[in-house]
A and B are shown apart, each in its own frame.
Chain A
Amino acid sequence: MTAIPPTTLTDRTEADTRKVPRLTRAEQRAIAAKGRLSSPWASGIAIVLAILWTVPTFGLLVTSIRPRSDIRTSGWWTFFTAPAATLENYSEVLFGSSTSFATFFVNSLVITLPAVVIPISLALLAAYAFAWIPFRGRELLFVAVFALQVVPIQVTLLPLLQQYVSWGLAGSFWVVWLSHSIFALPLAIYLLHNFMKDIPSSLVEAARVDGAGHVTVFFRVLLPLLTPAIASFGIFQFLWVWNDLLVALVFVGGTTDVAPLTVRIAELAGTRGSQWHLLSAGAFVAMVVPLVVFLALQRYFVRGLLAGSVKG
């Protein structure tokens, strides 16, 4: 979790994209041809890197559709000389009584949606207060919230768990939602505050002069303008919660009815580390949702990345 001042990167890239249409195709191609390192060597290195980055995932994907006995006796690359494909691994990992990933898939979904909606809503309200409601101590409070980004969540886990246990709530969805919401807030507030500050103050002031209260201004003026910002942070938070292991492990670790996919897969890797027909298919079951979301909304994700930061 860190802070990057938002303005420089986004503004420059946007300026850059705005500039592009002014160049004709031919001109663009001329620039590309003059290109910075455009030699055969450069393309060669780029291709090697691209292959290095893709092959591990590809290998596991191929493995996940090979029959169990093949996986154990030969490498995935032999698939291309002796192809034999099956969906059995997927059906076993999803519905087999010893794995039942379908249940954990539902758990992941049930955990993720509220853990995205709640912190974004709260952060939007808080960011609005910090940006547009003048009150005493505002700067100080904002700096304090900003500084909380530095706190690694590890520092908070044990005391929180003890609190949840004493309330009798440990191991339920409620504490996972609450914890994820809390951990997301500092970064969310910071990011959304930056986006909100970019909205011309004349818009807000005009509405205020017309007699609109803060609640009306928030819903009628700001929310519609903030949709891209909400999407950016929404994807962040979605990927973060869906892929999280630590929070889930600490608060609901052993509870089959609540634990998400990541916990189950990590467990499988520990107890049945050599059963690659289950591990490969299971990994892809867990990956498919974030991959689809990511590819569909990549533009917003990149924008969020450039505007603020990454959570870690």
Chain B
Amino acid sequence: MDWLLRPDTTPEKLTLMVIAIVLFVVVMGAILLGIDRLRRAPTWVVVAGFLGPTLLFLAFGLFYPGLRTIWSSFHDGRGRNFIGLDNYVTAFTQEQFQVVLRNTALWVVLVPLAATFFGLVYAVLVDRTRFEYVAKTLIFLPMAISLVGASIIWKFVYEYKPVQGNIQQTGLLNQLLVWLGMQPQQFLQDQPWNNLFLIVVMVWIQAGFAMTVLSAAVKAIPDDIVEAARLDGLHGLSMFRYITVPSIRPALVVVVTTIAMATLKVFDIVRTMTGGNFDTSVVAYEFYTQSFTARNQGLGAALAVILFVLVIPIIAYNVRQLKLAEEIR
């Protein structure tokens, strides 16, 4: 029965998958059937049947590990001795980690702004044109691609070949530079600009999300408002500035905060493109290196907690804005 734990052929794996699903269905089915049979089951039994497994999962997989991580962030690398705030002091004062924090700040500011900007401009430009559906799908498509896949796509754009003899550039961006008569660049190695070239990848992915949500918001602007503004002589850019943007403000807040949170946790792009070298690491990546490569459990935990704490103001702002928006309505 070893293959139940370690299947190594395709049929074994597929069988295991079916077994897992069937097992789950049978267990849940038995619980629900049991509840249904008990005609006069007290409410708590019904609730336990519907909610019990979920709460068990959440307590085991999110709540308890979260507390454990907070606990180990106050302990040393092996998780034995209490060292107070030392891990946090390290994370905020050592130069290596200050670069990490600087990069994270750069990501969290630039990605949401740039992605929202491009998404909004594009949504407005293609709104109600004949090619709207196709045009939107093109921008939207990167959302289906994994961050790893996107990183590879862009790594190829940035590909660099040393200039010697008649070696040709195979990366598009460097070839463009050559065509323009400039020197090819090592985009992923030249600090600090390489961070910007990594950020481009995330903008490329998130713009589709921004566009979709903002496009729905733009379509929801009542026609009479637009009509009235037009009678008042607003056109083009001024229409965009004074009517479109203020009307979709709540959606803008949601988009910016959502992208900011996704950006905070970005890990795949840095890992695939530079491996955190050349001063490109961010908190989410440094957490991984410290926890699983450097085996410095305490510091890794502290970085995870920092990540957690950074998310909170963004959510608080989000919730506040939503409350305000509801009050106005």
Contacts and interface: CB of A to CB of B under 8 A. Distances in A.
Interface stretch (B39-47, B83-91, B93-101, B102-110): B39-47
A5 B135 CA distance: 28
Contact of B124 (A36, A76, A109, A178): A36
B14 interface: yes
Interface string B51-78: 1011101101111111011101000000
A153 to B, nearest CB: 8
Interface in B98-139: 118, 121-122, 124-130, 135, 137-139
Given A36-B240, A152-B307, A294 B143 contact: yes
B304 A152 contact: yes
Given A56-B154, A75-B172, A155 B66 contact: yes
Nearest to B139: A53
Interface residues of B, number: 132
Contacts of B268: 245-246, 262, 266
Given A160-B65, A243-B147, A280 B275 contact: no
Interface residues of A, number: 128
A129 B7 CA distance: 37
A77 B261 contact: no
Given A133-B46, A290-B146, A113 B212 contact: no
Contacts of A249: 288
A26 to B, nearest CB: 14
16 contacts: A13-B219, A46-B126, A57-B141, A59-B172, A75-B168, A114-B24, A123-B54, A157-B65, A157-B291, A163-B65, A214-B46, A246-B288, A262-B146, A266-B268, A266-B272, A287-B144
Interface of A: 1-5, 8-9, 12-13, 15-16, 28, 31-32, 34-39, 42-43, 45-46, 49-50, 53-57, 59-60, 63, 71-77, 103, 106-107, 109-110, 113-114, 117-118, 121-123, 125-126, 128-130, 133-135, 141, 145, 148, 150-160, 163, 169, 171-174, 177-179, 181-183, 185-186, 189, 213-216, 218, 239, 242-246, 249-250, 257, 262, 265-266, 269-270, 273, 276, 279-280, 283, 286-287, 290-291, 293-295, 298, 302, 305-306, 309-310, 312
